[in-house]
Structure 1
Amino acid sequence: MSTPPNYRPKTTLEQWRILQAVVDYGGYARAAEAINKSQSSMNHAVAKLQESLGVKLLQVVGRKAELTNIGEVMLRRSRQLTVLVTELEQLAQNLKQGWEPEIKLAVEMVFDRTKLLPVLREFQLHSRGSRLVIEDTVLTGSVEAIIDQSADIVISHQLPRGIVGEPLSNYRMQLVVASDHPLAQFPQPISPDQLSQYLQVVIRDTARKPVEAEGWLKAEQRWTVNNFNEALPLVEAGIGFCWLPPFVTRNAENLVELSLSGSSRREGGMYLVLPKNEKTGPCARLLYDMLVSELTNTLA
């Protein structure tokens, strides 16, 4: 629900913080001492807050202030408000210091993303509110992200000329079809000419100007999809063959790996790249360092 443009809040953030302190410290006296305010000013703030809202938030039981039922609900929501304001103020300070509001991580689709999860879980705790955009790249799209510096960090299986990268684990692609596909009945290994007579499922290159410089793309018929998750059901249905990484096919039950004469599978190295080099911002640099520490230790 959007807020009307002419709406003026009846309460202040300071009033809510005082209410929280009174509850957290068990009364006005201790809360006043803890946050260095007079007890009378705190009594006035809470009274004014209740008057503005028209509801009772606190009631005194003995010598202790306790929340009413309405107060419990309002207190929970007020804590969300103060956390958001604190984060907003921290974000402003971070931006003032050059901390990026958003960073982009481009990941080649042949890379198993489950390897990133431990790093991303830890990074979230130190990201200071910066947004992370994770973008799929395929083939020359990965190279383009490096050359154009359209991403802060790139995981790629190719390095453009003059670019260095931190080596990661190798990727692997298997040539697979459904077990009831005609190609599965051929004696192995099959020839490229035999393969070319059947429909191939390929993954769309994410570059603005794709260059078909690698991969087996000689089939007479070709269906193009956006990612492996779209390709897998087509292969499982017996519609065509496809090069897929093992982490995509590991739970598939009716697939057969083909042996292609001269190239039974595709393999290669993966690299972690900082396209902007010394211009990389501190948040992106933090994530990069965490990725280097985790991925080069566990995936090498």
Structure 2
Amino acid sequence: MSRAKSTLEQWRILQSVVDFGGYAQAAEQLNKSQSSLNHAVAKLQSQLGIQLLEVKGRKAYLTEQGEVLLRRSRHLTQTVDELEQLASNLGEGWEPNLTIAREIIYPMDFLVDALKAFLPHSRGTRVTIIDSVISGTHELILNSTADIAICAIPAKGHIAEPICESELFLVCSPDHPLALQKVIADDQVLAQYLQLVIKDTAINKASDTGWLKAEQRWTVSNFHEAINILKTGIGFCWAPAYLVKNDIASCELKRLELKGSKSRKIQLSLLIPNRDKQGPASKLLESLILLQHDINQSLD
């Protein structure tokens, strides 16, 4: 293995000389002698066999070759800085990866805003979001696959913080026969038509969400697929209000009124599957999600 001719310190000194406009200015900023900086750059040029800087008057200017190498050196020193920061983070227990289980009826905008606030402080933590349904969410919690879970029904044995309600509307296409009825008298009327339901995401259990009395059912993996099918005039579905309100306003979907049940509201909660092993990144993100719902909680 060949040894490098140059050092990171030499490249950092070169960057400083250029960034601060000369050897004297860089020496003052770095708290080093000007002669030591001159020596470091001169040695770097000698080792590489190429001129990087030329001095005109009292200012140092990059040569064409120096500009190319300086750009590449910035990538190199940044990568090393990030590597050292990662090592420091890991030493402090900062998690390199976080997994969030999100019940699909939880509005994504809340989570995006929390992650946006988390990003400047994330220290490079990679975040994975898993959209889940009912027992699929429980499975992620019980298997400790998720670091943070947002669930409709808290898993047994776990403490959860209620954060918001998700409202579900009964919807279909304006061209569907159900759309002609001002008020649907009872469940038996719905039972005559095809219902779109969302498949449970659990590996070891296959159930579906919502009212399931319709004789005909199509099961899809998410509400976006269900909505696209609804717009073709096929079926009805209980869907989150935040996903269908614009389609209702534009008359692409029709909101149905079921006697005794204009909508359904489901309580959503935030849950930490393993509080004892929760790290600082998870604590920070948890607090930011709670703040989206105006909940302040001490996580020390």
CA distance in 2, matches of 1:213, 1:204: 5
Quick one: which of 174, 180, 205 aligns to 1:185? 180
Q: Which amino acid aligns with 2:275?
A: N
TM-score (norm 2): 0.87
**TM-score normalised by length of structure 1:** 0.87
One-letter code of the match for 2:75? Q
Q: 1:97 is matched with which residue?
A: 92
Query: Bigger CA drift: 12-21 or 211-220?
Result: 211-220
Asked if the contact 2:199/2:208 (under 8 Å) is kept, the reply is no
Question: Match of 1:171, SS?
Answer: strand
Partners of 2:192 and 2:70 in 1: how far apart?
A: 68
CA distance in 1, matches of 2:256, 2:84: 57
Q: Helix, strand or coil: the match of 2:293? A: helix
Residue of structure 2 in register with 1:129 after alignment: 124
1:214 deviates by: 5.4
Question: Between the two proteins, what is the percent identity of the paired residues?
Answer: 49
CA 243–42 in structure 1, closer or farther in 2 if over 3 Å, else same: same
Residue matched to 1:218: 213
- Counterpart of 2:289? 291
Please, which runs of 5 or more residues in structure 2 have no aligned partner? none
Residue matched to 1:175: 170
Aligned residue among 249, 270, 285 for 2:244: 249
Residues 235 and 68 of structure 1: is their aligned pair in 2 closer, same or farther, counting only changes over 3 Å?
A: farther
Give the superposed CA RMSD. 2.5
Residue segments in structure 1 that go unaligned for 5+ positions in a row: 1-5
Secondary structure at 1:251 match in 2: helix
**Cross-structure match for 1:269:** 267
2:194 corresponds in structure 1 to 199
Q: Give the drift of 1:122.
A: 1.8
Say whether the 8 Å CA contact 1:167–1:296 is kept in structure 2: no
The AA in structure 2 aligned to 1:174 is: F
Output one character per residue of 1:45-75: Cα deviation in whole Å (capped at 9) or x when no partner: 3345445666543222211002345544543
> Which one-letter code corresponds to 1:256 in the other structure?
K
Deviations 1:57-110 (A, max 9, x none): 322221100234554454344333322221210111111222111111111111
Aligned partners of 2:182 and 2:257 also within 8 Å:
no
Tell me which amino acid in the other structure corresponds to 1:194.
V
Structure 2: which amino acid aligns with 1:96? G
Q: Deviations over 1:192-251 (max 9, x none)?
A: 223223222222211112353751123233222222222221111112212111211132
1:46 to 41, 45, 50: 41
C-alpha distance in structure 2 between counterparts of 1:129 and 1:202, whole Å: 38
CA distance in 2, matches of 1:69, 1:201: 64
Q: Number of aligned residue pairs: give it.
A: 293
